[in-house]
Structure 1
């Protein structure tokens, strides 16, 4: 991996009915990292910890090499970040987009009004409209435009496509691809949309029940997790000793359906044990997540 945009070490956050961690996670600069997991697994909590909106009970968070602890110059590092939360802020309902932009602009030295207006045009957003009159998708498009207006080094996007129609979704994907073109920018996003992760992510972080299972290079992950259909030829084979073994089911006769997370090694193992590989199929991200749960 390249230089770290975010470094989280031995982090634990305790709540009455939920515990996040311990989390050890390094997110590389210049890449798109998708955080994937079921609802309530801790994705939004991680974002709040990165922004200093909450503090861990143990461990540390570093953004751009700076400790996030509430004691330093939070404005300095937050001005380098664009953030789109999962839920809009209710107390802003009486504001218009223009009014929120006027409030937000002074905090960001890199604010680019022309780029901001270009984004609004691209997403077909009327900034003079009150938030209470905007649809969920319209508000989402405004929030993304606002978060990107100062050309942030890091975008934190919590379910960025929530409420978007297919055309707006494609516009968002194209806009984020353009954002990454300079090569020194970073996106960390939480998403349930498999195609979104496929199109954008370089790395994938799996988080389940507050536990981070690791960070994986996307293409290598999708290549290694496969379902193998195997003819055992009547032999008794201990499938659980196969490299990367996750599950096994009978598919009829002497044929077995086997899921492995190390497909290349598993194929060599099958050949060595005299089992015939009939066919294979890559798993989708949601299928991998189900296997990990």
Structure 2
């Protein structure tokens, strides 16, 4: 996808303290014109981050800009008309009304509401909006909320686990619609998702988030080509000192008869291995969930032992 440049969302030193959780400090820039995915375990702070961007939750520290406007200065209403937000869970207080009634309410808030696009989306998702929202199945409610979110042609989409409850056919329809949404080149999606295939199909950039902290932002293709794991025959003690200088080393462990070395810089590691005439027993590229697992483990060790820095 071709972006127009600039920054759609900027978070600078954002911190939020809650009784059992601390978010931040977060420094994050979401590029305009691209799809950025936030990936992390449950409880990482992804949904809270979205709420901060929408001025639904106030930070204790730091600044937030969305589409070039400062959030939290009391002048967010006009700005938020340019944003489409799909929360992880539907609003329960809507359960007593019909879908068509909620759509009628929505169109008064969004000057760019497109009733024809709304009806097209209902048709594509096979949603009957005359049903009360509380009577819809989880999947149908998700499809209705997606249709509602897309129907005012927002400049920025914030999607929190958008495919939750969708069957495979509806999921495929959603992916196609989001690709179509990005075709103009001047729109932006920020998505939080646990679905690896979803992230791979949609994202241009990936942000890893763990325990309220951003561990890094990566260009997707570079990430997936850069992270590999090498296997070396023999015990851990044999290889520990030898492999400690491997470029991009992000993890080293005994894997039962072999030592598993994880690197975030596969090309440089290849050259380094060849120069020392080392012979791996095998190698394998890493999926997003594998990379996340490594980063989560490193974050745990940081907190437990006070280690500094995260290998990127």
TM-score (norm 2): 0.89
Which of 182, 185, 188 does residue 186 from structure 1 map onto? Answer: 188
**Is residue 30–residue 183 contact of structure 1 (8 Å, CA) maintained in 2?**
yes
Closer/same/farther in 2, CA of residues 199 and 240 from structure 1, 3 Å limit: same
Find the residue that maps to 2:108 and give its secondary structure: helix
Instruction: Tell me, yes or no, if structure 1 residue 270 matches structure 2 residue 245.
Output: no
Deviation digits for residues 46-92 of structure 1, max 9, x if unmatched?
000000101110001100111001422x1211010111000111111
Distance 1:84 1:189 in 2: 10
**Is residue 11–residue 61 contact of structure 1 (8 Å, CA) maintained in 2?**
yes
Closer/same/farther in 2, CA of residues 292 and 264 from structure 1, 3 Å limit: same
User: Paired residue for 2:60?
Assistant: 57
User: Paired residue for 1:197?
Assistant: 199
User: Paired residue for 2:146?
Assistant: 144
Distance 2:127 2:41 in 1: 31
User: Paired residue for 1:209?
Assistant: 211
Moved more, 193-202 or 274-283: 274-283
Which of 235, 241, 246 does residue 242 from structure 1 map onto? Answer: 246
Distance 1:52 1:112 in 2: 25
Alignment of 1:3-42 (within 5 A): 3-42=6-45
Closer/same/farther in 2, CA of residues 17 and 250 from structure 1, 3 Å limit: closer
TM-fit CA distance, 1:276 = 2.2
Structure 2 gap segments, 5+ residues each: 297-312
Find the residue that maps to 1:241 and give its secondary structure: coil
Moved more, 237-246 or 133-142: 237-246
Find the residue that maps to 1:223 and give its secondary structure: helix
Find the residue that maps to 1:220 and give its secondary structure: helix
Which of 170, 173, 176 does residue 174 from structure 1 map onto? Answer: 176
Q: How many residues align?
A: 290
Closer/same/farther in 2, CA of residues 14 and 250 from structure 1, 3 Å limit: closer
User: Paired residue for 1:100?
Assistant: 102
Closer/same/farther in 2, CA of residues 252 and 90 from structure 1, 3 Å limit: closer
Closer/same/farther in 2, CA of residues 269 and 109 from structure 1, 3 Å limit: same
Structure 1 gap segments, 5+ residues each: none
TM-score (norm 1): 0.95
